[in-house]
Amino acid sequence: MPKAGEAIENAARLEEIEFPEFTSQLISDTFNAIVTSMIRQQEAYADLLEKVSQSVADFEQESVSARDVTQWLIGNFPGDSRGTTTVGTLDDPGTLSETELEILERKLTSQVEEIGVELPGPGDASGGNGDEATYDLTEDDVGNIRDAARRKIARPRLEALQDLVSQGIVRVVVDDGTIETRVIFETVASEYDTSSTYESERTRSQYGGRAGLTLGSFSIGGYGSRQTTSVSTMTERERSSSRASVEIMGGVTINVRGDYQALRPEGGGEGEGGGGGGGGPA
């Protein structure tokens, strides 16, 4: 059993817990997390500004994939099998009916003029003999159709991003916060002494006598005795204890709010907007 004084001695070794280092690490980790979050937000803003500052031609090459174009063609010119299009591919051009050529002309006329290519029209269909006239696409036709479809997909996406920039981008701003640390060290020790005393005394004495008187058929007799027993016990106990406690805790409270930042692409119009709740950049 440790002595009671050891509890105080253990509490006196507080410097071995490295509490200042613990507090310093908590503060630095908190600030690093905040700064990292700010950097990521700014990187996202910069990436968005770079995209909306691009020309449509550059934007479509970066933001519209070949799969996006294929999915658009499947949706507007579906083939006989699932996941195919009547436009076909560059390696295997397809065949469009006169009705599909009319749809192609209606949907992609402005894009064809914008990128400066030519597409077959309804008047190019031939044949029929009672059936609807058709036109067999060439490899160049398929390439031009895909280019026009890519531009049709890209422009609304770019315009949506530009509109988003003009409104401003929502961001998270740290308003204020509290970093709190405390230490509670706990140690317990006790000691006790016990002593016991047992005493026993037994005394026995006995005396007796008999006497009798007989008168005819009537008699009187007597007998006497004495016995004494004495027992005593004693128990003594002494106990002492000591207690000290130390608890290490760290807490961070950060208050954040929503804000927005107006972004202005290079060469574009200035987006209007103030801080939603005030405050400068985080």
Q: Six-digit token pair at 95?
A: 């065949």
The share of the chain scoring above pLDDT 70, in percent, equals 59
User: By mean pLDDT, which of 6-15, 36-45, 194-203 is the weakest?
Assistant: 194-203
68 pLDDT higher than 60: yes
Q: What single letter denotes the amino acid at residue 254?
A: I
The confidence score (pLDDT) of residue 42 equals 82
| Separation of alpha carbons 121 and 129, rounded Å | 20
Mean pLDDT of the chain: 74
Q: What is the distance between the alpha carbons of residues 168 and 190, in angstroms, rounded to a whole number? A: 67
Residue 149's nearest CA partner among 115, 99, 98 is 115
Q: List pLDDT tens digits, range 42-62.
A: 888 888 888 888 889 999 998
Q: Measure the CA–CA gap between 35 and 216, rounded to whole angstroms.
A: 128
pLDDT tens, position by position, 121-161: 988 888 766 678 899 999 999 999 999 999 999 999 998 88
Q: What integer pLDDT is reported at residue 144 of this predicted model?
A: 95
Q: Output b/e per residue, 234-247; b: 16+ Cβ within 10 A.
A: eeeeeeeebebebe
- pLDDT tens track for 208-233: 455 454 545 545 455 555 555 555 55
The answer to whether residue 162 scores a pLDDT higher than 70 is: yes
The single residue listed with the structure tokens 């804000």 is 259
pLDDT tier, 255 (very low <50, low <70, confident <90, very high otherwise)? confident
**Which amino acid does the sequence have at 203?**
T
Q: Residue 105: CA atoms inside 13 Å, Cβ hemisphere, count?
A: 13
Whole-structure pTM over 0.85, yes or no? no
Q: Hey, where are the domains in the chain?
A: 1-190+241-282
Highest mean pLDDT among 10-24, 77-91, 254-268: 77-91
Distance CA 29, CA 33 (A): 6
Q: What percentage of the chain carries pLDDT values higher than 90?
A: 27
pLDDT in tens, 101-122: 999 999 999 999 999 999 999 8
Poorest-pLDDT segment among 38-52, 53-67, 179-193: 179-193
Q: Which amino acid is at 102?
A: E
Over range 71-84, report the average pLDDT: 93
Q: Which residues are CB-contacts of 154 (< 8 A; sequence separation ≥ 6)? A: 56, 59, 60, 63, 64
CA distances from 37 to 42, 173, 261, 276 (A): 9, 10, 15, 19
- Higher model confidence: residue 200 or residue 170? 170
Query: Mean pLDDT, to the nearest integer, of 84-97?
Result: 93
